[in-house]
Amino acid sequence: MIFRNTFDRNRVTSWNESLMEYVAKNDYFEKQKSKDGMDRYFASLESSRPQILGLYWSPPQMEARTSSELAVARRWLNSLWTFSSENGVEFDPDRECLYADRLRQREPGDDTLGLSAHVDGGSVERWLDEGFRGVYRHLLSGDVESYDPFDAAFRTVTMEIPSPAVCSMFRTYQGWTALSRQGPGDGTLNLVPIANALAWVILRALQDDVPDDELCGAAPSRALTISEAWHAKILRAYVPIPMVEPGDTVWWHPDVIHGVESQHTGAGYSNVMYIGAAPACAKNERFLAEQRRAFEAGESSPDFAAENYEVDFEGRFTADMLSPLGRVQMGYEA
Ligand SMILES: [Fe+2]
Protein backbone atom coordinates (compact mmCIF):
# COMPACT_ATOMS: atom_id res chain seq x y z
CA MET A 1 0.00 0.00 0.00
CA ILE A 2 1.35 3.44 -0.87
CA PHE A 3 0.29 6.67 0.83
CA ARG A 4 1.13 9.66 -1.32
CA ASN A 5 2.43 12.87 0.29
CA THR A 6 2.33 11.55 3.84
CA PHE A 7 4.93 14.21 4.57
CA ASP A 8 5.62 17.56 2.98
CA ARG A 9 8.24 16.99 0.28
CA ASN A 10 10.53 19.87 1.30
CA ARG A 11 10.61 18.65 4.88
CA VAL A 12 11.61 15.16 3.76
CA THR A 13 14.24 16.45 1.38
CA SER A 14 15.84 18.35 4.24
CA TRP A 15 15.64 15.20 6.41
CA ASN A 16 17.47 13.32 3.68
CA GLU A 17 20.22 15.93 3.53
CA SER A 18 20.58 16.03 7.27
CA LEU A 19 20.81 12.21 7.42
CA MET A 20 23.57 12.15 4.80
CA GLU A 21 25.38 14.77 6.87
CA TYR A 22 24.81 12.81 10.13
CA VAL A 23 26.43 9.78 8.48
CA ALA A 24 29.33 11.76 6.98
CA LYS A 25 30.28 13.97 9.90
CA ASN A 26 30.24 11.04 12.32
CA ASP A 27 32.39 8.90 9.99
CA TYR A 28 29.85 6.06 9.91
CA PHE A 29 31.39 4.07 7.08
CA GLU A 30 34.88 3.97 8.64
CA LYS A 31 33.35 2.75 11.90
CA GLN A 32 31.25 0.17 10.03
CA LYS A 33 34.35 -1.41 8.45
CA SER A 34 35.71 -2.33 11.86
CA LYS A 35 32.44 -4.02 12.85
CA ASP A 36 31.68 -5.69 9.53
CA GLY A 37 30.00 -9.05 9.74
CA MET A 38 28.24 -8.63 13.07
CA ASP A 39 24.77 -8.80 11.62
CA ARG A 40 24.27 -12.23 10.05
CA TYR A 41 20.49 -12.03 9.78
CA PHE A 42 20.46 -12.04 6.00
CA ALA A 43 23.47 -14.32 5.64
CA SER A 44 21.46 -17.13 4.05
CA LEU A 45 20.06 -14.88 1.34
CA GLU A 46 21.71 -14.83 -2.06
CA SER A 47 22.85 -11.26 -1.87
CA SER A 48 23.69 -10.66 1.74
CA ARG A 49 25.20 -7.18 2.07
CA PRO A 50 22.44 -4.60 1.92
CA GLN A 51 23.24 -0.90 2.19
CA ILE A 52 21.27 -0.70 5.38
CA LEU A 53 22.79 1.50 8.06
CA GLY A 54 22.69 0.53 11.72
CA LEU A 55 21.53 3.96 12.82
CA TYR A 56 18.47 4.38 15.03
CA TRP A 57 18.52 7.72 16.81
CA SER A 58 19.02 10.50 14.28
CA PRO A 59 16.72 13.54 14.59
CA PRO A 60 14.93 12.87 11.23
CA GLN A 61 14.15 9.26 12.21
CA MET A 62 12.77 10.30 15.59
CA GLU A 63 10.83 13.25 14.17
CA ALA A 64 9.19 11.04 11.54
CA ARG A 65 8.38 8.21 13.99
CA THR A 66 6.75 10.58 16.45
CA SER A 67 5.02 12.78 13.84
CA SER A 68 1.29 13.44 13.78
CA GLU A 69 1.29 12.43 10.09
CA LEU A 70 2.40 8.87 10.86
CA ALA A 71 0.16 8.69 13.93
CA VAL A 72 -2.87 9.22 11.66
CA ALA A 73 -1.60 6.80 9.00
CA ARG A 74 -0.83 4.05 11.49
CA ARG A 75 -4.13 4.39 13.35
CA TRP A 76 -5.92 3.78 10.06
CA LEU A 77 -3.65 0.86 9.10
CA ASN A 78 -4.12 -0.76 12.53
CA SER A 79 -7.86 -0.50 12.13
CA LEU A 80 -7.76 -2.70 9.01
CA TRP A 81 -7.11 -5.61 11.37
CA THR A 82 -9.66 -7.49 13.47
CA PHE A 83 -7.94 -6.75 16.76
CA SER A 84 -10.55 -8.25 19.08
CA SER A 85 -10.97 -11.94 18.50
CA GLU A 86 -11.31 -15.39 20.00
CA ASN A 87 -8.06 -14.91 21.92
CA GLY A 88 -9.26 -11.63 23.48
CA VAL A 89 -8.20 -8.09 22.58
CA GLU A 90 -4.80 -8.34 20.91
CA PHE A 91 -3.91 -4.64 20.63
CA ASP A 92 -5.11 -1.04 20.86
CA PRO A 93 -5.26 0.32 17.28
CA ASP A 94 -5.24 3.95 18.47
CA ARG A 95 -2.02 3.86 20.42
CA GLU A 96 1.36 3.35 18.81
CA CYS A 97 4.60 1.98 20.26
CA LEU A 98 7.77 3.37 18.73
CA TYR A 99 9.97 0.76 17.06
CA ALA A 100 13.45 1.99 16.22
CA ASP A 101 14.52 0.52 12.89
CA ARG A 102 17.31 1.38 10.47
CA LEU A 103 17.99 3.40 7.33
CA ARG A 104 18.71 2.52 3.73
CA GLN A 105 21.05 4.78 1.76
CA ARG A 106 21.73 3.16 -1.57
CA GLU A 107 24.08 4.63 -4.12
CA PRO A 108 23.21 4.75 -7.83
CA GLY A 109 25.06 2.09 -9.80
CA ASP A 110 25.28 -0.28 -6.86
CA ASP A 111 24.98 -3.84 -8.19
CA THR A 112 26.12 -6.00 -5.32
CA LEU A 113 23.74 -5.19 -2.55
CA GLY A 114 20.17 -6.38 -2.39
CA LEU A 115 17.87 -8.63 -0.45
CA SER A 116 16.42 -11.74 -1.99
CA ALA A 117 12.72 -12.47 -1.48
CA HIS A 118 11.94 -13.15 2.18
CA VAL A 119 9.45 -12.74 4.99
CA ASP A 120 10.54 -11.14 8.28
CA GLY A 121 9.45 -11.89 11.82
CA GLY A 122 10.05 -15.62 12.09
CA SER A 123 11.07 -18.63 10.00
CA VAL A 124 10.79 -22.19 11.37
CA GLU A 125 8.79 -20.90 14.36
CA ARG A 126 5.88 -20.27 12.00
CA TRP A 127 5.37 -24.06 11.98
CA LEU A 128 6.80 -24.89 15.43
CA ASP A 129 5.71 -22.19 17.89
CA GLU A 130 2.40 -22.55 19.68
CA GLY A 131 1.50 -18.88 19.08
CA PHE A 132 2.13 -19.12 15.34
CA ARG A 133 0.20 -22.39 15.25
CA GLY A 134 -2.69 -20.35 16.66
CA VAL A 135 -2.24 -17.70 13.97
CA TYR A 136 -2.28 -20.35 11.26
CA ARG A 137 -4.78 -22.65 13.02
CA HIS A 138 -7.24 -22.72 10.11
CA LEU A 139 -4.53 -23.58 7.60
CA LEU A 140 -2.99 -26.29 9.75
CA SER A 141 -6.36 -27.91 10.39
CA GLY A 142 -7.26 -27.97 6.70
CA ASP A 143 -9.83 -25.15 6.79
CA VAL A 144 -8.00 -22.95 4.32
CA GLU A 145 -11.04 -20.84 3.44
CA SER A 146 -11.37 -19.55 7.01
CA TYR A 147 -7.82 -18.20 7.19
CA ASP A 148 -7.76 -14.39 7.39
CA PRO A 149 -4.33 -12.70 7.51
CA PHE A 150 -5.92 -9.64 9.17
CA ASP A 151 -7.33 -11.64 12.08
CA ALA A 152 -4.99 -10.65 14.93
CA ALA A 153 -5.84 -13.68 17.10
CA PHE A 154 -2.60 -15.05 18.64
CA ARG A 155 -0.44 -12.60 16.65
CA THR A 156 0.81 -10.86 19.80
CA VAL A 157 1.67 -14.07 21.66
CA THR A 158 4.05 -15.60 19.13
CA MET A 159 7.54 -16.47 20.44
CA GLU A 160 10.28 -15.74 17.94
CA ILE A 161 13.62 -17.55 18.26
CA PRO A 162 15.97 -14.95 19.78
CA SER A 163 18.30 -13.51 17.15
CA PRO A 164 20.09 -10.18 16.73
CA ALA A 165 17.71 -9.10 14.00
CA VAL A 166 14.34 -10.84 14.11
CA CYS A 167 11.65 -8.28 14.96
CA SER A 168 10.54 -8.75 18.56
CA MET A 169 7.57 -6.45 18.23
CA PHE A 170 4.18 -7.20 16.77
CA ARG A 171 3.71 -5.03 13.69
CA THR A 172 0.45 -4.64 11.80
CA TYR A 173 2.48 -3.28 8.90
CA GLN A 174 6.09 -3.05 7.95
CA GLY A 175 6.86 0.14 6.14
CA TRP A 176 9.19 2.89 5.10
CA THR A 177 9.20 6.57 4.35
CA ALA A 178 10.75 7.50 0.99
CA LEU A 179 13.58 10.00 1.43
CA SER A 180 14.27 10.16 -2.29
CA ARG A 181 12.45 9.49 -5.56
CA GLN A 182 12.64 5.77 -6.41
CA GLY A 183 10.85 3.17 -8.47
CA PRO A 184 11.42 0.03 -10.55
CA GLY A 185 15.14 -0.47 -11.23
CA ASP A 186 16.29 1.92 -8.52
CA GLY A 187 17.40 -0.82 -6.14
CA THR A 188 14.25 -0.62 -4.11
CA LEU A 189 11.37 -2.76 -2.84
CA ASN A 190 9.85 -5.67 -4.70
CA LEU A 191 7.03 -7.69 -3.22
CA VAL A 192 4.26 -10.20 -3.72
CA PRO A 193 1.39 -7.82 -2.92
CA ILE A 194 -0.89 -10.50 -1.48
CA ALA A 195 -1.29 -10.68 2.31
CA ASN A 196 -2.42 -14.30 2.35
CA ALA A 197 0.32 -15.58 0.04
CA LEU A 198 1.96 -16.91 3.19
CA ALA A 199 -0.91 -19.38 3.49
CA TRP A 200 0.52 -20.99 0.37
CA VAL A 201 4.06 -20.91 1.83
CA ILE A 202 2.93 -22.53 5.10
CA LEU A 203 1.17 -25.34 3.27
CA ARG A 204 3.90 -25.70 0.62
CA ALA A 205 6.33 -26.95 3.29
CA LEU A 206 3.92 -29.75 4.17
CA GLN A 207 3.61 -31.19 0.66
CA ASP A 208 4.76 -34.71 -0.21
CA ASP A 209 7.80 -33.62 -2.26
CA VAL A 210 9.35 -31.85 0.75
CA PRO A 211 11.52 -34.07 2.98
CA ASP A 212 10.28 -34.51 6.56
CA ASP A 213 13.27 -32.61 7.99
CA GLU A 214 12.91 -29.67 5.61
CA LEU A 215 10.66 -26.58 5.64
CA CYS A 216 11.50 -25.31 2.13
CA GLY A 217 14.70 -23.57 3.20
CA ALA A 218 13.47 -22.07 6.48
CA ALA A 219 16.35 -21.78 8.97
CA PRO A 220 16.27 -20.63 12.61
CA SER A 221 17.27 -17.00 13.36
CA ARG A 222 17.19 -16.03 9.70
CA ALA A 223 14.69 -14.26 7.50
CA LEU A 224 12.30 -16.80 5.97
CA THR A 225 13.69 -17.24 2.47
CA ILE A 226 11.34 -17.57 -0.46
CA SER A 227 13.23 -19.31 -3.26
CA GLU A 228 12.80 -20.35 -6.87
CA ALA A 229 13.72 -23.87 -5.75
CA TRP A 230 10.63 -24.23 -3.53
CA HIS A 231 8.35 -21.31 -4.21
CA ALA A 232 8.55 -20.64 -7.95
CA LYS A 233 4.77 -20.45 -8.40
CA ILE A 234 4.25 -17.68 -5.85
CA LEU A 235 7.31 -15.76 -7.07
CA ARG A 236 5.53 -15.24 -10.39
CA ALA A 237 3.65 -12.49 -8.52
CA TYR A 238 6.88 -10.78 -7.30
CA VAL A 239 6.82 -7.23 -8.70
CA PRO A 240 8.54 -3.87 -8.11
CA ILE A 241 6.69 -1.05 -6.38
CA PRO A 242 5.64 1.87 -8.60
CA MET A 243 7.57 5.17 -8.53
CA VAL A 244 7.41 6.95 -5.18
CA GLU A 245 8.43 10.51 -4.31
CA PRO A 246 10.09 11.90 -1.17
CA GLY A 247 7.45 11.97 1.57
CA ASP A 248 5.40 9.06 0.24
CA THR A 249 5.16 6.07 2.59
CA VAL A 250 5.03 2.38 1.65
CA TRP A 251 3.37 -0.26 3.86
CA TRP A 252 3.11 -4.03 3.70
CA HIS A 253 1.52 -6.69 5.89
CA PRO A 254 4.13 -8.53 8.02
CA ASP A 255 3.45 -11.80 6.16
CA VAL A 256 4.11 -10.24 2.75
CA ILE A 257 6.98 -11.67 0.71
CA HIS A 258 9.39 -8.87 -0.15
CA GLY A 259 12.97 -8.04 -1.04
CA VAL A 260 15.22 -5.35 -2.43
CA GLU A 261 16.38 -5.34 -6.06
CA SER A 262 19.92 -6.64 -6.40
CA GLN A 263 20.85 -3.92 -8.90
CA HIS A 264 20.38 -0.19 -8.62
CA THR A 265 20.35 0.98 -12.22
CA GLY A 266 18.83 4.38 -11.50
CA ALA A 267 20.49 7.78 -11.36
CA GLY A 268 20.02 8.93 -7.74
CA TYR A 269 20.33 7.58 -4.23
CA SER A 270 17.41 5.38 -3.17
CA ASN A 271 17.06 6.25 0.50
CA VAL A 272 14.40 5.24 3.01
CA MET A 273 13.71 5.32 6.73
CA TYR A 274 12.18 2.03 7.90
CA ILE A 275 9.15 2.92 10.01
CA GLY A 276 6.31 0.44 10.45
CA ALA A 277 3.21 0.29 12.62
CA ALA A 278 3.42 -1.37 16.06
CA PRO A 279 0.25 -0.82 18.09
CA ALA A 280 0.14 -0.99 21.87
CA CYS A 281 -0.06 -4.51 23.31
CA ALA A 282 1.70 -6.29 26.17
CA LYS A 283 4.37 -7.69 23.85
CA ASN A 284 5.25 -4.26 22.42
CA GLU A 285 5.19 -2.52 25.78
CA ARG A 286 7.66 -5.06 27.19
CA PHE A 287 9.99 -4.26 24.33
CA LEU A 288 9.67 -0.50 24.91
CA ALA A 289 11.33 -0.84 28.32
CA GLU A 290 14.47 -2.41 26.78
CA GLN A 291 14.41 0.04 23.91
CA ARG A 292 14.31 3.06 26.25
CA ARG A 293 17.53 1.92 27.88
CA ALA A 294 19.22 1.66 24.48
CA PHE A 295 17.85 5.05 23.42
CA GLU A 296 19.17 6.82 26.50
CA ALA A 297 22.61 5.28 26.02
CA GLY A 298 22.60 5.89 22.25
CA GLU A 299 23.07 2.15 21.67
CA SER A 300 21.64 0.11 18.80
CA SER A 301 18.03 -0.96 19.13
CA PRO A 302 17.98 -4.14 21.26
CA ASP A 303 16.40 -5.91 18.28
CA PHE A 304 19.50 -5.57 16.10
CA ALA A 305 23.21 -6.35 16.27
CA ALA A 306 24.83 -4.42 19.14
CA GLU A 307 26.99 -2.27 16.86
CA ASN A 308 26.31 0.83 18.98
CA TYR A 309 27.67 3.27 16.41
CA GLU A 310 25.77 6.24 17.75
CA VAL A 311 26.98 6.23 21.35
CA ASP A 312 29.31 9.16 20.67
CA PHE A 313 27.65 10.53 17.53
CA GLU A 314 27.34 14.28 17.32
CA GLY A 315 23.77 15.51 16.79
CA ARG A 316 21.98 12.41 18.11
CA PHE A 317 18.35 12.78 19.19
CA THR A 318 18.00 12.71 22.98
CA ALA A 319 15.13 12.21 25.45
CA ASP A 320 14.76 15.93 26.22
CA MET A 321 13.84 16.49 22.54
CA LEU A 322 10.78 14.20 22.61
CA SER A 323 7.36 15.70 21.93
CA PRO A 324 4.45 14.77 24.24
CA LEU A 325 3.33 12.18 21.63
CA GLY A 326 6.89 10.87 21.39
CA ARG A 327 7.04 10.42 25.16
CA VAL A 328 3.89 8.29 25.04
CA GLN A 329 5.13 6.26 22.05
CA MET A 330 8.43 5.57 23.84
CA GLY A 331 6.53 4.50 26.97
CA TYR A 332 7.79 7.30 29.22
CA GLU A 333 4.17 8.23 29.83
CA ALA A 334 0.97 6.22 29.74
FE1 LIG B 1 12.45 -7.52 5.15
- Ligand 1 centre and the CA of 256: distance in Å? 9
- Ligand 1 centre and the CA of 259: distance in Å? 6
CA trace torsion 9, 11, 14, 18 (10° rounding): -130
First to last CA, the chain: 30
- Ligand 1 centre and the CA of 115: distance in Å? 8
Dist. CA 281–CA 205, nearest whole Å: 31
For residue 30, tell me if it sits in a domain: yes
- Ligand 1 centre and the CA of 272: distance in Å? 13
Residue 165 has a pLDDT of 60
For residue 299, tell me if it sits in a domain: yes
Give the pLDDT of the chain (334 residues) as one tens digit per residue.
999 999 999 999 999 999 999 999 999 988 887 775 545 455 444 443 348 899 999 999 999 999 999 999 999 999 999 999 888 999 999 999 999 999 999 888 887 667 899 999 999 999 999 999 999 999 999 999 999 999 999 999 999 998 866 788 999 999 999 999 999 999 899 999 999 999 999 999 999 999 999 999 999 988 999 999 999 999 999 999 999 999 999 999 999 999 999 889 998 999 999 999 999 999 999 999 999 999 999 999 999 989 999 999 999 999 999 999 999 999 999 8
32-36 LR contacts (CB < 8 Å, sep 24+): 32/307, 32/309, 35/307, 35/309
DSSP states of 118-185: EE-S-STHHHH-HHHHHHTHHHHTT-GGG--TTB-TTGGG--PPP-TTS--S--SBEEEEESS-B-TT
Residue 49 has a pLDDT of 38
For residue 231, tell me if it sits in a domain: yes
- Ligand 1 centre and the CA of 12: distance in Å? 23
Residue 54 has a pLDDT of 93
Q: Kindly calculate the radius of gyration of the chain based on its CA atoms and give it in whole angstroms.
A: 19
Please state the pTM of the whole predicted model: 0.93
- Ligand 1 centre and the CA of 286: distance in Å? 23
Neighbours of ion ligand 1 (CB under 5 A): 120
- Ligand 1 centre and the CA of 120: distance in Å? 5
- CATH code assigned at 84: 2.60.120.330
Sign of CA dihedral 251, 254, 256, 257: positive
Residue 36 has a pLDDT of 58
For residue 283, tell me if it sits in a domain: yes
Q: Look at the chain and report how many structural domains it folds into.
A: 1
For residue 334, tell me if it sits in a domain: no
What residues make up the domain containing 196?
A: 2-329
- Ligand 1 centre and the CA of 167: distance in Å? 10
